[in-house]
């Protein structure tokens, strides 16, 4: 018997977390680097891809007004409020998988907002102080520091489910 949908969902979640734990063990055993934008070993890149995939499925979604109001001709990006590289580096530095994933939040914003405001990968250079704080802060403060990236460039956000 297959079990209830909730039981199947729990089994998938447990398997996903177990796979992430396996990838993390391999990544921690590799010659990884944190705090700098350098080419990472294959084990770290594999962990990063999987963290991105899982967080895109499990994380709550927020949006900006421009993205919510955009018509189909406007490119809308999905940004990790706490960048994936920060999530991965926190894992490499010793945090556990599930608590780190609980800090993941996604925000839909227009491509113009994403690039114009420096929220893309270059934030490690453009907002280096914030990036380094994200690596060292208590884990329960990580999401708020992610939103600080948005506050610094005056982008407002709200839950994606907000009625119009």
Structure confidence by residue, pLDDT tens digits, 34-67: 888 788 999 999 999 999 999 999 999 999 999 9
pLDDT digits (tens, 9 = 90+) for 100-148: 999 999 999 999 888 877 666 677 888 889 999 999 999 999 999 999 9
Q: In what order do the strands lie in the sheet with 76-80?
A: 76-80, 106-110, 61-63, 158-159
Query: What average pLDDT does the structure give for the chain?
Result: 90
CA distance 90 to 103: 11
pLDDT digits (tens, 9 = 90+) for 66-107: 999 999 999 999 999 999 999 999 999 999 999 999 999 999
pLDDT, position 123: 77
Any alpha helices (H) in the chain, and if so which ranges? 5-28, 42-58, 65-69, 84-92, 97-101, 111-116, 123-126, 128-136, 142-152
The residue among 18, 63, 17, 25 whose CA lies nearest residue 44 is 25
The residue among 103, 93, 89, 98 whose CA lies nearest residue 142 is 103
pLDDT, position 164: 43
pLDDT, position 121: 64
Q: Residue 134 in contact with residue 141, Cβ under 8 Å?
A: no
pLDDT, position 125: 81
- pLDDT band for position 163 (cuts 50, 70, 90): very low
pLDDT, position 33: 87
């Amino acid at each position: 018997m297959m079990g209830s949908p909730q039981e199947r969902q729990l089994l998938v979640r447990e398997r996903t977390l177990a796979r992430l734990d396996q990838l993390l063990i391999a990544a921690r055993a590799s010659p990884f680097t944190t705090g700098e934008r350098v080419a990472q070993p294959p084990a770290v890149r594999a962990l990063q891809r999987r963290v991105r995939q899982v967080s895109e499925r499990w994380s709550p979604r927020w949006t900006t007004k421009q993205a919510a109001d955009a018509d189909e001709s406007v490119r809308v990006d999905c940004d990790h409020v706490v960048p994936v590289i920060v999530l991965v580096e926190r894992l490499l530095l010793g945090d556990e998988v599930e608590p780190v994933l609980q800090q993941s939040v996604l925000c839909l914003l227009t491509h113009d907002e994403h690039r114009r405001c420096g929220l893309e990968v270059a934030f490690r250079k453009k907002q280096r102080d914030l990036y380094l704080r994200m690596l060292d802060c208590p884990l329960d403060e990580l999401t708020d520091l992610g939103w600080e990236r948005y506050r610094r460039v005056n982008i407002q956000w709200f839950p994606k489910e907000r009625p119009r």
